[in-house]
Structures are given as C-alpha cells and as structure tokens.
Structure 1
Amino acid sequence: MLGLRILVHSIKLVVRNWRVALRISSPLIAVLLVFGVFMRGSIAGVATLGPDEGVSWLAIGVYLIAQTFSGTWVAVAWHRYVLQEDDSGAIIPSFMGRRVGAYFMQGVLIAIIVGIVTVVAAAALFFAFSGLNSLVLAIVLPLVIALVGLWLFYRVSPALPAVAIEEALSIGDAWRATRPYSGSILVLVIAMAAASGVFGALVELTVESSTYLYLVLVMVQTWISMMVGISVLTTIYGVVVENRDF
C-alpha cells in the first residue's frame, strides 16, 4: 500500500541519513536539551498536557514557541536537503529567514483552514450520531474527527515543502494534486497515529520508574516524531508533485 510505503520511506530517510539528520536538526535538539536538562520537567509538563511539579505554564509556553521556531527552521532545511540536496555541511543549518517565515505563515494558514473544516465536520458528526452510546460519543467520534483533521492536513501538506524549496504551489493546488492519493493518505494517517500511540505508550511506561529516563525518552520521542513527520511531508511532495519513485 502506498500509504505504508510513504511512512516506511520517510523513516528510512531519517535512519539512512541519521548523521545529516542530527546536524540539520541541531536547533531542535538544542531546544530539547535546554528545556529537558536545565528546566527539568518542562518537557514532561508538555507531554502530560499540563504543568508538572515546579513547572509553570509560562515555561511550557516558552518551550512550545521555541520548539515551533526551531522545528520550522529544521523543516525548511530538511526539505531542501532531501528534495534539492542543499546542505551547507555546517553543524547548524543555514537560517533562511524569508523561507522560514513564509513556511510558518503557510503552516498557520493551513492550520486555520483545517481547523475550521474539522470543527464543522465535528459538529455534523456529533449531530448525526447524537443518539449513539455515550462511550462512542466520548471516544470513537473524537478519534474519527482527529483522523479527519490529520487527513485534511496531509491532503494539502505539499504546499509546505513547496515554500521551502521556493516552488509555486497553492493550498488549492496541493489539494487537487493529492486527490488521486486520498485513500493512500488516509492509510498513512491511520498508520502514523497507531505507531505514535504505541511509541507514546511505551515511553509512558517509564514515567514512574525514573524521571530522568522518562525525560530522555520524551526528548527522543519528540525528535523522532518531528523528523519522521517532516520526512513524510517531504515524501508526499516528492511522490505527488515531482512524481518520484521510492
């Protein structure tokens, strides 16, 4: 199945090029280390969706801002490396301010569009299935809605790598380009959600045994999730827009 092949290929991109991946993602790694080591617990607070002991909402907010900034920087650099073999070879990737800014704004626009459509879809689903068992409404429907939101995001996701490599591709163009791959993208989303859930559950098993081990594993999980996620965007663009094969 193409969806699974995209996920596997994206993982292989990170594994095969792990040295380059570590170097290009150095801004993200720096953020993870600063908040994981020097502000102990901030990452745990984010991971548990609330402040941990001694961790303020301000610290979590600063962490999320820093992670978004560094993640956008890394995404632009990784897209350019994979799609154009653009790599300075430096420990810290080149900061292309205009590209990073445009990428961020494109991401915000996509988030707004996907958010609005998802909310409308959620309202329609809850109205249509309001007579079902409360357990279904509380667990199954939110899961379906989350998958719908992710599916919508990945349907328009080629617009992000396009910004990074300075190619003209609107959100509407991205939606039309991925139409033949809509089923494969749904399979991809389900596979990613399942893998993320299993990985996250394994990490959570260590939360009671050792705080430091838990923090290290959360940092590793965050890095892997972000790099594989960025690689998925890159792979989708390569397949859909550039007609690349694996």
Structure 2
Amino acid sequence: MKGYHLFRHALAMVLRDLPTTTRLTAVPYAIGAIWSVWFAVTAPTVNGVLMIREPSGLLGVGALCLLSIVSILWLAVVWHRYVLLGEAPKRFLPEASVSRMKGYLIKGILTVLVTLPVAGIFGVLSYLLSYGGPLIGAVMGCGYIFALVAVIGRVSAILPAVAVDRPISLRESWAQTKQATPAIVVAFLMAGVTMAVASMMVLAVFLTAGKLAYLAIPNFLIQWFSTVLGLSLITTIYGHYIEGRELT
C-alpha cells in the first residue's frame, strides 16, 4: 500500500492547487514544446525524413535539444522549491536560477550514468536468452523495466535535494530508500499506467469524433501533466524518505 500512498500524494500535489501548478510550470514547459512543434513544421525533410546534414536541420536539432533541456531544468527546480519550501514566485514568470539548474543537470547526468550498468546487464542477458522464445523475452522486458524504475526511483532523491540547496550523495539516497524498492516501483508504474490510459482515452475520443487534427492540444496537456506528476513523485520520495515528511 505504500506505493499507492506515494502515488496518491504526488497526484494530490499536482491537483491540490491546479491554478498555481499551471502558473508555475506551464510556461517553462510550453517554451520547449512550442519550439518542438515549430521545428517539426519547418525542419528540412525529404520524403518525411529529417535532413540532419543540412545546416538548418543540424542547427535546429541542437537548438531543440538545448531549449528542451533548459525548459525541463527550469520547470523542475521551480516545482521542487514550491512544493518543498513553499516558494511561490510573485511574478508571472518564475525565476530561472542558473546555478541550481546547472547543479540539477549534473545530478541528472549522474542518475542516468547509474542506470547504465542495469541496461548493460539486461542487454547481455537478453542476448544470451534470445533463443528462449517470446515468453523469455517478455519476462526479461518486464524485469528490465522493474530494475530500471527501482534504480532511478531510489537515486532520484538527489534531484530535489540539489534544487532546494540541500544536496545529498547517490549513496545517501540509495541508503535512505533501501526498504522502499517495492513501493517506489509500484508508485512509478501507477503513474505510468494512469497517464497511458489517459492518452489512450483521449486518442479514442478524437478518433471517434474524426478530429485527429486537433489532437495536438490534449497531447500537449497530457505530456505536461505527466512531466509534473513525475517531478511530484520524486519530490514525494525525497520529502518522505530523506526529510521524513508524512504522506497525506
């Protein structure tokens, strides 16, 4: 049940004051999303294939990656500080703290690096067991997802920590969550399933109505909500397991 309570707490975090949630996170997220849409429309293509070797295509991809990273870093730092410190910006645009965003990026890279051994181990095992049939493949796929979610979830507390100027090490995050692996996996899977079901429901509605041309708007909203929910989940992990806060 702890996994459910983690998920419920994170979800309530987003929905408790939706206008404030929107004000704090929508603009940083929209900056990256709007650029993505503009690039998708204007990028040089041949038969639908992006021409990376074209100067405009290469420059566009680079700018898209950079802007997307900056927008997510901005959003994440602002959201963690609002939830954990009650820091609500008075201006329309939240402050973009470059130093905190830089620290968050470094911790994010460390988090990714930690997952590489997991990916490597399961990659080797998948290759060795590739002749075992589809059932073995399915089992390995599920095992890979569970292991990856567990590792990311247990070390993810380093991200909110650096956002609120209380940095902790990977070892500290891992140690403080040593009894929490099942709960963290359940919470992340519940969040993933919830957003997947929401996406399928929206797609079904627009398919039925024959309005696929308008699907971009609800897709944007779902992706934005998924991003904030994911950030809320790692904020909850940090708050509960590192700071000892109660789950509501």
- In the superposition, the TM-score normalised over structure 2's length comes to 0.83
State how 1:40-189 maps to structure 2 within 5 Å: 53=48, 58=57, 62-124=63-125, 126-127=127-128, 129-133=129-133, 135-189=134-188
Q: CA contact under 8 A between 2:118 and 2:147: conserved in structure 1? A: no
1:214 Cα deviation from its structure 2 partner: 1.5
Render the CA deviation track for 1:196-227: whole Å, top value 9, x for unaligned.
33233334444693343211122111101100
**Greater radius of gyration (CA):** 2
Which amino acid is the alignment partner of residue 18 of structure 2? Answer: W
SS at 2:10's partner residue? helix
Q: Distance in 2 between matches of 1:92 and 1:52?
A: 40
* Equivalent position of 1:48 in the other structure: none
Q: CA contact under 8 A between 1:126 and 1:137: conserved in structure 2? A: no
* Equivalent position of 1:12 in the other structure: 12
Cα distance change on mapping 1:52 and 1:185 into 2, 3 Å: farther
Q: Distance in 2 between matches of 1:52 and 1:190?
A: 38
Which amino acid is the alignment partner of residue 88 of structure 1? Answer: P
Q: Which moved more, 1:141-150 or 1:83-92?
A: 141-150
Q: Distance in 1 between matches of 2:61 and 2:219?
A: 15
Render the CA deviation track for 1:128-175: whole Å, top value 9, x for unaligned.
x44532x23544422331231122101101010000011131011100
Q: CA contact under 8 A between 1:103 and 1:163: conserved in structure 2? A: yes
SS at 2:180's partner residue? helix
Q: CA contact under 8 A between 1:41 and 1:53: conserved in structure 2? A: no
1:23 Cα deviation from its structure 2 partner: 1.5
Cα distance change on mapping 1:242 and 1:126 into 2, 3 Å: same
Q: Distance in 2 between matches of 1:125 and 1:196?
A: 28
Q: Distance in 1 between matches of 2:216 and 2:120?
A: 33
Render the CA deviation track for 1:72-113: whole Å, top value 9, x for unaligned.
111111101110111222211111100000101110111011
Which amino acid is the alignment partner of residue 241 of structure 1? Answer: I
Q: CA contact under 8 A between 1:41 and 1:52: conserved in structure 2? A: no
Render the CA deviation track for 1:24-73: whole Å, top value 9, x for unaligned.
1111123323444x45669xxxxxxxx99586664566444322211111
* Equivalent position of 2:221 in the other structure: 220
SS at 2:132's partner residue? coil
* Equivalent position of 1:210 in the other structure: 211
SS at 1:88's partner residue? coil
Give ranges in structure 1 of 5+ residues lacking alignment. 43-50
Q: Which moved more, 1:203-212 or 1:97-106?
A: 203-212
1:21 Cα deviation from its structure 2 partner: 1.4
Q: CA contact under 8 A between 1:41 and 1:55: conserved in structure 2? A: no
The percentage of counterpart residues that share the same residue type is 22
Which amino acid is the alignment partner of residue 87 of structure 1? Answer: A
SS at 2:87's partner residue? coil
Cα distance change on mapping 1:55 and 1:122 into 2, 3 Å: closer
Q: Which moved more, 1:203-212 or 1:171-180?
A: 203-212
Which amino acid is the alignment partner of residue 66 of structure 1? Answer: L
* Equivalent position of 1:47 in the other structure: none
Give ranges in structure 2 of 5+ residues lacking alignment. none
Which amino acid is the alignment partner of residue 187 of structure 1? Answer: V
Q: Distance in 1 between matches of 2:207 and 2:66?
A: 25
Cα distance change on mapping 1:100 and 1:218 into 2, 3 Å: same
Cα distance change on mapping 1:97 and 1:54 into 2, 3 Å: same
